[in-house]
């Protein structure tokens, strides 16, 4: 029998008290749980803890009610069963690569892949003895030719995050399945709403939640979603050993952003199409790279596989216009920030150097355009204001 509790000192009462908040509380939003330490009512409960599943709590790093709720909503968004949350989209890519690859294995990437993923293959993975090879995403035979017994993972990306080609996903997945190789896709452009990768047989869906789900350009986060229990546990085991975790405040901000994402994506997509059509009429623009345009490589696959457009697209400036003029045009924009990340309410513009060895997005030998590429992201501003801003800045492209 426990001894009667004596009166607690003032400093102790600042940490311990007998108050219990009444339940239930009827707020509309998910509560924000801040916790590194998780406590249990008994030693037996502590010893029975299970970090592998979302049925209980073991340590703040492995989940709280706030992060579990967000993970389940992202899984539902992507049409999956399990979701892991990590500190960024790139962290999600690293997690997948390190969980599924080991020394001697081969990784296959599309040659228009997100550039940090390309760099990862040539640095960290190469140092671990993992070979990275690049295939042409518009040619399934190119993928087939690179698969050998060492190939353990194939990344897919649609559309290319700079070049905007849309590959034939079912054809690429069929090649991978014929060889028994796992597939992972970067589903960031589609925001989890415009494309359903699991319906095409893809094994892992990665999403840079930093973009549309956040919507505020102020939270870094990534997700890895699966349907297969064993595959999820392989990924989760490495996530735990790498020490990946998400704070309660970031999870709350992401939950709040999710609630308005569909509306923001629709507005951004409409604005992006309007800007792309406006640019297609400009003599300074040699080509518009937007999946919804018939001229864009893979447009037919976009029509078949996607339910709409996001606000990210690229244009090719006429090759007669010097790069310095293109840079000056981008500098002159008032409503378009110069920034790589996107998916928020602010419009953005970034020029890229493409047709050079080791170019940003595609092998120089396969890049068909000579002019400067500028990637635009359409935010949620009034499109007439964005066009006025562009029209004024485009004056700098003239002789």
pLDDT at 357: 42
pLDDT at 3 > cutoff 60: no
> In order of start, what are the domains of the chain with their CATH numbers?
43-255 (3.40.640.10), 262-397 (3.90.1150.10)
Mean pLDDT within 7-24 = 81
Which band of pLDDT confidence, cut at 50, 70 and 90, is reported for residue 360? very low
Mean pLDDT within 191-219 = 97
CB 245 within 8 A of CB 88: no
CB 152 within 8 A of CB 182: yes
Strand order in the sheet with 373-377: 285-289, 312-317, 373-377, 347-352, 336-337
Residue the block writes with tokens 């892991």: 84
* pLDDT tens digits, one per residue of 136-194: 999 999 999 999 999 999 999 999 989 999 999 999 999 999 999 999 999 999 999 99
Helices (H), the chain: 10-13, 43-47, 65-78, 89-100, 115-120, 126-127, 140-146, 169-178, 229-242, 248-280, 299-305, 323-332, 383-394
Lowest model confidence (mean pLDDT) among 48-52, 96-100, 129-133, 136-140:
48-52
pLDDT at 59 > cutoff 90: no
Cα 135–226–148 angle (5° rounding)?
30
- What does the alpha-carbon distance between residue 170 and residue 284 come to, in Å, rounded to a whole number? 36
Mean pLDDT within 22-28 = 80
Give the predicted TM-score (pTM) of the model.
0.91
Lowest model confidence (mean pLDDT) among 50-64, 67-81, 167-181, 380-394:
50-64
Rg of the chain's alpha carbons, rounded to an integer?
24
* pLDDT tens digits, one per residue of 214-263: 999 999 999 999 999 999 999 999 999 999 999 999 999 999 999 999 99
- What does the alpha-carbon distance between residue 105 and residue 265 come to, in Å, rounded to a whole number? 38
């Amino acid at each position: 029998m426990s001894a009667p509790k004596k009166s607690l000192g003032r400093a102790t009462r600042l940490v311990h008290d007998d108050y219990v908040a009444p339940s239930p509380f009827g707020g509309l939003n998910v509560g924000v749980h801040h916790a590194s330490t998780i406590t249990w009512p008994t030693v037996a409960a502590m010893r029975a803890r299970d970090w592998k599943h979302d049925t209980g709590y073991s340590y703040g790093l492995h989940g709280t009610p706030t992060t579990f709720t967000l993970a389940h909503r992202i899984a539902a968004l992507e049409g999956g069963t399990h979701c892991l949350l990590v500190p960024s989209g790139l962290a999600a890519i690293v997690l997948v690569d390190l969980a599924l690859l080991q020394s001697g294995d081969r990784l296959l990437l599309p040659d228009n892949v997100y550039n940090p993923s390309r760099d990862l293959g040539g640095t960290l993975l190469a140092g671990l003895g993992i070979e990275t090879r690049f295939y042409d995403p518009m040619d399934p035979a190119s993928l087939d030719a690179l698969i050998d017994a060492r190939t353990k993972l194939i990344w897919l990306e649609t559309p290319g995050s700079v070049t905007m080609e849309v590959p034939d996903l079912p054809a690429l997945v069929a090649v991978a399945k014929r060889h028994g190789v796992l597939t992972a896709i970067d589903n960031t452009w589609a925001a989890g709403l415009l494309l359903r990768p699991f319906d095409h047989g893809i094994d892992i869906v990665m999403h840079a939640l930093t973009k549309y789900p956040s919507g505020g350009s102020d939270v870094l986060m990534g997700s890895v979603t699966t349907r297969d229990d064993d595959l999820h546990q392989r990924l989760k085991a490495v996530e735990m050993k790498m020490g990946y975790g998400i704070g309660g405040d970031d999870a709350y901000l992401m939950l709040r952003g999710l609630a308005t994402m569909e509306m923001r994506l629709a507005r951004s997509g409409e604005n992006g199409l309007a800007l792309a059509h406006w640019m297609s009429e400009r003599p300074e623009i040699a080509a518009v790279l937007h999946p919804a345009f018939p001229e864009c490589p893979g447009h037919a696959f976009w029509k078949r596989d996607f339910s709409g457009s996001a606000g990210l697209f690229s244009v090719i400036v006429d090759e007669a216009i010097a790069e310095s003029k293109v840079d000056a045009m981008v500098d002159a924009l008032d409503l378009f920030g110069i920034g790589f990340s996107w998916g928020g309410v602010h419009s953005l513009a970034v020029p890229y150097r493409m047709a050079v060895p080791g170019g940003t997005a595609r092998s120089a030998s396969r890049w068909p355009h000579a002019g400067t590429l500028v990637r635009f992201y359409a935010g949620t501003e009034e499109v007439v204001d964005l066009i006025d801003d562009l029209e004024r800045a485009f004056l700098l492209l003239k002789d």
